[in-house]
A and B are shown apart, each in its own frame.
Chain A
Amino acid sequence: MNTTSPRYSGPAIAAHWLIAALILVAFPLGVYMHDLPLSPNKLKLYSYHKWIGITVLLLFVPRILWRITHRPPAPLPMPAWQHKIAEGTHHLLYLLMFLVPLTGWLMSSAKGFQVVYFGVLPLPDLIGKSEELGDLFKEVHEALNWGLLVLVGLHVAGALKHVIIDKDGTLRRMLPFGK
């Protein structure tokens, strides 16, 4: 019998790292592409960015259902305020995992560009073409992304604090190949 703290479940670990990797690609891509002059390259990067975002949105659904139906392992001992911050960060991360791709989709619809998943599956436009709404959702999408950056920063800093300062097994519970 080993006495190490229980790990997250396999599906939870897989969803965590998969979505993290997708966000890690989509975020800098979005920052880079939006100022490019119009070119075939820009059209391609926009499409890749949208496909990644829709993938996050699609993965979010089973992930949140899994999270609701499977309790994560109880937190290791830590001060209550730290636990509160960690939990709040997690909840907001879940919220943005949903809202960031959704506002991107809304923005694409409002700008008059339907999202065609992988260039083959046309997704319905969520709203009609409208310049004002297009600009509005661009602002919202951008603002939420800066929020996401702050939250991911907090999340990573927290994880590193558990490794470096607390030297506890918090991070290990979420690592894909550990015990």
Chain B
Amino acid sequence: MKIQTLALSTALLLAGTAHAVEFNQVDAAKSSLAFSSKQMGVPVPGSFKRFTTQIAFDPAKPTAASTTLEIDLASIDAGSKDANDEVVGKQWFNVKAFPTAKFVSTGVKALGGNRFEAIGKMTIKGQTRDVVAPFTFKQDGASGVFDGGFVLKRMEYNIGEGPWADVSAVANEIEIKFHVVANAAKK
């Protein structure tokens, strides 16, 4: 009886100390935001060099987690100089009128194990759409590593208008992949 109580309180204590951490200090240098488009069936990798992420994630209380992501669209690397010049233009991101894209989470679901799902709203080029992004969480010392992605349909945001609306040349589906490293801060 005594031993059981001790074990239970120890377990609670350990659980308390182990999980009384929230990963909320994003390490921008170690984080990346990549994507892959398909041009005539050819996968073309790209990335955004500048973006800011806020994360508050406690693995013990994942449903209380929240995140926002703001992307500086002009920092795009779409695979070639020609493409980079093109995609900031009016028919694509129109960065003069819409310099940033934004994701704001409305909830996080635990899917079991180290898998989770961020649910939220993505705004690009004045269009806001619901997004569900599955991700994994891995604790690496004092850091939390988030890896995930989702498929964005570019036409839902009018990314690529006029002749570029031809999805047989550039596919509608763009694979987004994020890798975010956030350090823990004591609550």
Contacts and interface: CB of A to CB of B under 8 A. Distances in A.
Interface of A: 38-41, 43-44, 46-47, 111-116, 119-120, 122
Interface of B: 39-45, 79-80, 82-83, 85-86, 163-164, 166, 168-170
Contacts of A116: 40-42
Given A39-B163, A40-B163, A112-B80, A120 B170 contact: no
Given A39-B163, A43-B170, A119 B83 contact: no
Given A47-B40, A112-B79, A112-B80, A38 B166 contact: no
Given A38-B82, A43-B170, A114 B42 contact: yes
A44 to B, nearest CB: 6
A44 B41 contact: no
A19 B45 CA distance: 33
Given A39-B163, A41-B163, A113 B42 contact: yes
Contacts of A46: 40
Given A111-B80, A112-B79, A112-B80, A40 B164 contact: yes
Contacts, number: 46
Most buried by A among B42, B85, B170: B42
B86 A38 contact: yes
Nearest to A120: B41
Given A40-B163, A40-B170, 16 more contacts: A38-B82, A38-B83, A38-B85, A40-B164, A40-B166, A41-B163, A43-B39, A43-B40, A111-B80, A112-B80, A113-B39, A114-B42, A114-B43, A115-B42, A116-B41, A120-B41
B163 A112 contact: no
Contact of B169 (A43, A111, A114, A120): A43
A43 B41 CA distance: 11
B162 to A, nearest CB: 9
5 contacts: A38-B82, A38-B83, A39-B163, A114-B43, A122-B43
Most buried by A among B40, B44, B79, B82: B40
B169 A44 contact: yes
A40 B169 contact: yes
* In the complex, the 9 A-B pairs of residues with the closest C-beta atoms, listed nearest first: A119-B41, A40-B169, A47-B40, A116-B41, A40-B166, A116-B42, A43-B169, A38-B82, A38-B86
A46 B170 CA distance: 13
B82 A44 contact: no
A111 B164 CA distance: 22
Contacts of A38: 82-83, 85-86
A116 B44 CA distance: 11
B40 A44 contact: yes
A115 B79 CA distance: 15
A102 B183 CA distance: 49
Contacts of B163: 39-41
